[in-house]
Chain A
Amino acid sequence: MSKRASMKELSPIDIYKLLPKTNCKECGQENCMAFATKIVNREVNIDSCPPLLKKEHEKAYKQLKELLKPAVKEVVVGAGDKAAKLGGKLVMYRHEFTYTNPTAIAVDVTDEMPEAEIENRIKRTENFSYEYIGYTLKLDMIAVRSTSNDPEKFSAAVKKVAATTSLPLILCALNPNVLEAGVMAAPKARPLLYAATAENWRDMAELALMYSCPLVVSSPNDLSMLVSLTKTLLNYGVQDLVLDPGTFLNEGLADTINNFTMLRRAACKGGEELAGFPLMGVPMVAWANKGETADEIVKWREAYLAAMLIVRYADVLIMHGDDGWSLLPNAVLRQNIYTDPRKPVAVAPGLKVFGTPDENSPVFFTSNFALTYYTVASDLESSKLNAYLIVVETEGSAIDSGVAGRKLTAERVADAIKASGIETKVKHRKIIIPGKASRISGEIEELSGWKVQVGPRDSSEIPKYLIDKWQP
């Protein structure tokens, strides 16, 4: 197998050595060393250094590109602002850095579905939308499968799909003649082509080159064949590849998880270039051999297979079940797994209103650590309380660690009370503080002029606390 120098930890010095060292500030940074640090943290791109783009630095530019190349290549599918970026992963484990490019989720249609059903499935996919801690969770792609094996039918279906949606497409047909009919029906869409196999690779390579499309390499449960095909296709000139090692249910789960894990480890830890491509998972295999099984059960299996693949390195998934109940857990899981583990998740500070509070309603505060905030908010909401909640800027610290680390201080609480405008909304001057912030209760009273009541240590006890202790 071909290897490149293994991905070692990059230091800013490694980058700095190759920069023009002009300290010109044209990149917006104070000097080249500061720029190098931002580069290592992947906060800026080397293309934002104008001197580096000049002819005389061409060699250094290329060296830097090579040095910064992600372990998993980034492959772009589709065109325009909805194009899907697959892969681009720098690391194997999310605590090592941050996962880039959340797993793209595609919903399928087939060339034997009635037009109305195709339209309906696309509409449901496009309309999938869930508001979650300030993010809108969406689905990403449409996969068009040829179940007819008829070029004309596939062409008509792809045409219909391309006219209906601007989401990026995956065109699936193992017969190259059928696949080509599909590609030609959407000539500008730059779809992902499925798939080159041990049997058809040469025809598929020609197709990918001819139409300038990324190509999936499929070798079910045979990684040696998979890397052999990958090497062959690279030598053929096809550069944008996605690897499908096969997705299997039941007794095949172990092989599925092993294959994805081995490929990602080989790419990230072993510097194996032939494994360094986005990985495709196909939870919709749950629908093969469905028999008399209830649809709900198949969707359930498809959903948990998708969850395991999101955790274990899939960069793109093809799903058939498009129900909200089965897709929502995976949309949330994907958001969770792809958040930056280095940054505490924070919400915007300020006043939040629950129910329909009046001038006698209780006032709480909490930290702006998203988990703390959403836990408290969920407890207030689920108990149908009418209350005000002041979110204090704690730089994303929780209550106890915020108090200990001086991120949650009486000054900040007093400022937040003032800035919230709460004094015009209630006639009492009592604030219920988290039990874990009791240490600073005296200081808060002193600085804010509000009377402090120390509330429960866990927000789930708020309803009971209000019954026992709240008097406006």
Chain B
Amino acid sequence: MNTVPQPEKKKEDTSGMKLSPDLLELLAKFQEIELQDFEMQLGDLELSFTPGVAGQVMPQLKLPPALKAKPTALLQVPFAPPIETYPGKIAEVRLGGTKSQGGTRGKSIMIGGEVSPAFYTFERPITHTPIVTLDVFDMEVPLSKAVKMHVKDVVGDPAAWAKLAVEKFGADMVTVHLISIDPLLKDAKPKDAVKTVENILQAVDVPLVIGGCGDAVKDADVFQAICESFPNERFLISSITRDMDVERCATFVKKNGHAALSFTPMDLNLARELNRRLYDFLGKEDIVMDLTTAALGYGLDYAFTNMERARLAGLMGDVELAHPMSSGTTNAWAAREAWLKMDAKWEPRELRGPLWEVTTALTLLLAGVDLFMMMHPAAVKTLKDVTKNLVNGGKVDASKFADWVSVKP
């Protein structure tokens, strides 16, 4: 579940923009630059050397505590990688239904299935690469300036927004936030929401996350209409919460071949409890869990530790926590430091904001999150690049990076 970003009150200014024409373009450009080999100048180190000879004032000589003979050659010791095995395995969940599976998606995406803690690739390779779903809203919502500059042409047109997210920003999936169904906002009818989803299904062929408005009753009505209208599209229904009619929701999710996002507020016992209730209707392979994402600076430490504990517990055999994890990383924008115009020394916020989202995302990536719900295209690009490198990285040629000491920036 994502929090709608803080509203902008101040008049827009463009002062920060002079710094970089477009961060995305710059990021893209940087990717294309080949790293040149960099070699250490080892010759310099082979000079004969006697400490103190160069010296004016000699500091007092401190003798080592034990007067053993100093080694004259390197003492060789092998390092044994500390490899462990775990009794548990994280459930694998398929998202998106292809034609052969009764849906219309171009492909399915698997998440979860991990058998080691996050990115302990010295131990075992990653089973399924963590993925990113981009937020698309079905009506105009307040967006921070740093985000708005990238999506301003498509706000209000969810299908066009979804297309932009997939084709330009590289989203693996799209999250449709059905804000307009909120009884306190437009109170749009379930059939309007079905129409919105249908338009997005036409516009893109990636799997979808269906997001509600947070009203326990209205969400259930809308989710039911959508699940029944598009059976076997294998949507991720975001989300099922403790205050909803869990039996009813789980039943229409299961019956129509979708998956459920089990959402709880930062408490592993509540997460276990809700998952147990869902098990009466759904299989382990139908449940992704959202343990709540708090923004960097606003509780990220709780979110990180909760997720890290959940992942370790799942691997240690706690099946009620052995589900893939989703993170509403867009919540990073709830931190005022992400969007606020601050004192000049902290500017530009056009960079600070997306970096806030990236920092939140990477922290949780290392805790074990499998699915990121994100907002800013530069943050998405970075997360995807980092993930790709973490998953595919082979033995690096250290000499490319070794001599940072003499780098002249």
For A249, what are the chain B residues with a Cβ–Cβ distance below 8 Å? 401
Contact across chains for B351 and A296 when beta carbons are under 8 A apart: yes
- Kindly state whether residue A16 has any CB partner on chain B within 8 Å: no
Smallest Cβ distance from A312 to chain B, in angstroms? 6
Min CB distance B307 to A, Å, is: 11
Kindly identify which residue among B79, B300, B359, B403 contacts A223, using a CB–CB cutoff of 8 Å. B79
CA A289 to CA B403, docked complex, whole Å: 11
Residue interface mask B380-409, A partner, CB < 8 A = 1: 001000100111111110111111111111
* A176 x B45 contact (CB < 8 A): yes
Q: List which B271-322 residues lie within 8 A (CB) of chain A.
A: 294, 296-302, 304-305, 308-309, 312
Contact yes or no, B407 A235, CB < 8 A: no
- Interface residues on chain A, size class: 35 or more
Flag whether A291 is at the interface (Cβ < 8 A). Answer: yes
A332 touches B51 (CB 8 A): no
B298 contacts A371, C-beta separation under 8 Å: yes
Give the distance in Å from the alpha carbon of A311 to the alpha carbon of B386 in the complex. 15
Known contacts A287-B407, A382-B6, A221 near B71 by CB under 8 Å: no
Within 8 A of A (CB), among B327-371: 334, 336-337, 340, 345-349, 351-352, 355-356, 358-359, 362-363, 366
The answer to whether B382 touches A304, judged by C-beta atoms less than 8 angstroms apart, is yes
- B77–A1 contact, CB under 8 A? yes
Write the chain A residue with the least CB distance to B387: A253
The contact of A199 among B35, B46, B346, B359, by CB within 8 Å, is B46
In Å, the complex CA distance between A81 and B68 comes to 34
On whether the beta carbons of B404 and A253 are closer than 8 Å, the reply is: no
CB 8 Å contact bits of A296-332 with B (1 = contact, 0 = none): 1110110110011001100000001000111011101
CB-nearest residue of chain A to B294: A371
Please, which residues of chain A bring their CB within 8 A of the CB of B336? 378, 381-382
* B87 close to A (CB within 8 Å): no
In the complex, whether A149 has a CB less than 8 A from a CB of chain B is: yes
Kindly identify, within residues 247 to 265 of chain A, every residue whose CB is under 8 Å from any CB belonging to chain B: 247-258, 261-262, 265
Answer yes or no: B85 CB below 8 A from chain A CBs: no
What CA separation (Å) do A226 and B81 show in the bound complex? Answer: 13
The stretch of B54-62, B98-106, B170-178, B203-211 in contact with A is: B54-62
B409-A320 in contact (CB<8A) = yes
Q: Which residues of chain B are near A383, meaning CB under 8 Å? A: 7
**Is A1 within 8 A of B57, CB to CB?**
no
Distance (whole angstroms) from the CB of B187 to the closest CB of chain A:
15
List, in ascending order, chain B residues with CB within 8 A of A378's CB. Answer: 6, 298, 334, 336
Query: Which A residues touch B119, using CB under 8 A?
Result: 254, 257-258, 261
Chain A nearest CB from B79 CB (Å) reads 4
Q: Which residues of B contact A176 (CB under 8 A)?
A: 45, 49, 51
- B11 CB-CB contact with A under 8 Å: no
Task: A264 to B40: give the CA distance in the assembly, Å.
Answer: 28
Asked if B14 CB lies within 8 Å of chain A CBs, one says no
Chain A residues contacting B347 (CB-CB under 8 Å) are 324-325
Whether the Cβ atoms of B52 and A326 lie closer than 8 Å is no
Contact A333 B296 (CB under 8 A): yes
A187 interface residue (CB < 8 Å to B): yes
Contact B121 A254 (CB under 8 A): yes
CA distance A232 to B72 in the complex (A): 9
Which residues of chain B from 11 to 36 have any CB-CB distance to chain A below 8 Å in the complex?
19-20, 23, 26-27, 29-30, 33, 35-36
Determine which of B298, B352, B386, B404 lies in contact with A325 in the assembled complex, contact meaning CB atoms within 8 Å: B352
**Distance between Cα atoms of A303 and B354 in the complex (Å):** 12
Task: Determine whether the beta carbon of A333 is less than 8 Å from that of B30.
Answer: no
Interface centre among A132, A252, A266 (most CB of B within 10 A): A252
- The interface bits of chain A over 196-214 (1 if a CB of B lies within 8 angstroms of the residue's CB, else 0) are 0111111101110111100
Q: In whole Å, how far is B212's beta carbon from the nearest beta carbon of chain A?
A: 15
**Contact: A252 with B82, CB < 8 Å?**
no
Contact with B along A150-194 (1 / 0, CB 8 A): 010000000000000000000011111100110010010000001
Verify if A471 is at the interface (C-beta below 8 Å from B): no
Q: Please name all residues of chain B whose beta carbon is closer than 8 Å to the beta carbon of A371 when the two chains form the complex.
A: 294, 298-299, 302
Chain A residues with CB under 8 A of B393 = 251-255
Cβ contact within 8 Å between B351 and A235 = no
**Residue from B3, B359, B395 with most neighbouring chain A CB atoms (10 Å):** B359
**Given B82, B312, B334, B337, which contacts A266 in the complex, CB threshold below 8 Å?**
B82
Q: Is A227's beta carbon under 8 Å from chain B?
A: yes
Contact (A239, B65) CB under 8 Å given A149-B44, A228-B77: yes
Q: Is A397 an interface residue (CB 8 A)?
A: no
Query: How far is B4's CA from A147's CA once the two chains are assembled, in angstroms?
Result: 48
Is the pair A382, B9 in contact by a Cβ cutoff of 8 Å?
yes
Binds B, one of A29-37, A334-342, A347-355, A421-429: A334-342
Closest chain-B Cβ to A69's Cβ sits at a distance in Å of 16
Interface contact A201-B398, CB-CB below 8 Å: no
Contact B300 A282 (CB under 8 A): no
In the complex, what's the smallest C-beta–C-beta distance from A466 to chain B, in angstroms?
A: 15
CA A378 to CA B347, docked complex, whole Å: 20
- A356 interface contact, C-beta 8 A: no
CB <8 Å contact, A332 and B396: no
- Given A262-B122, A296-B351, A320-B409, are A255 and B396 neighbors across the interface (CB < 8 Å)? yes
- Point out the residues of chain A lying under 8 angstroms from B19, CB to CB: 296
Whether B300 lies near A336 (C-beta < 8 A) is yes
Q: Is the CB of A93 within 8 A of B82?
A: no
Give the complex CA separation of A110 and B122 in angstroms: 36
Q: Are B398 and A222 in contact (CB under 8 A)?
A: yes
User: A1: which of B79, B184, B362, B389 is its contact (CB, 8 Å)?
Assistant: B79
Query: Of the candidates A146, A251, A324, A460, which one forms a contact with B345 in the assembled complex, judged by CB atoms under 8 Å apart?
Result: A324
Residue on B with the closest CB to A218? Answer: B402
Is A284 interfacial (CB 8 A cutoff)?
yes
Q: Kindly provide the distance from the CB of A109 to the nearest chain B CB, expressed in whole angstroms.
A: 11
Assuming the A-B contacts A132-B297, A206-B51, A308-B362, are A251 and B38 also in contact, with contact meaning beta carbons closer than 8 angstroms in the complex? no
A357 located at the interface, meaning its Cβ lies under 8 Å from any Cβ of chain B in the complex: no
Interface residues in A126-148 (C-beta closer than 8 Å to B):
132, 145-147
**B124 CB to nearest A CB, Å:** 12
A105 at the interface (CB under 8 A from B): no
Q: Give the residues in chain B near A199, CB-CB below 8 Å.
A: 42, 45-46
* Chain A to chain B contacts (Cβ below 8 Å), 13 pairs: A95-B305, A132-B297, A197-B45, A220-B401, A228-B76, A248-B400, A252-B396, A262-B82, A294-B26, A311-B366, A333-B296, A333-B359, A371-B299
Interface residues of A (CB under 8 A from B): 1, 93-95, 110, 112, 132, 145-147, 149, 151, 172-177, 180-181, 184, 187, 194, 197-203, 205-207, 209-212, 220-224, 226-229, 231-232, 235-239, 246-258, 261-262, 265-266, 269-270, 272, 274-275, 282, 284-285, 287-294, 296-298, 300-301, 303-304, 307-308, 311-312, 320, 324-326, 328-330, 332-333, 336-337, 339, 341, 371, 374-375, 378, 381-384, 460, 464
Question: 9 closest A-B pairs (Cβ-Cβ)?
Answer: A237-B64, A254-B393, A252-B396, A220-B398, A223-B79, A325-B352, A221-B398, A336-B301, A324-B346
| Inter-chain pairs besides A1-B78, A272-B82, A304-B382, 6 sampled, C-beta below 8 Å | A132-B297, A203-B49, A212-B62, A261-B120, A337-B304, A341-B305
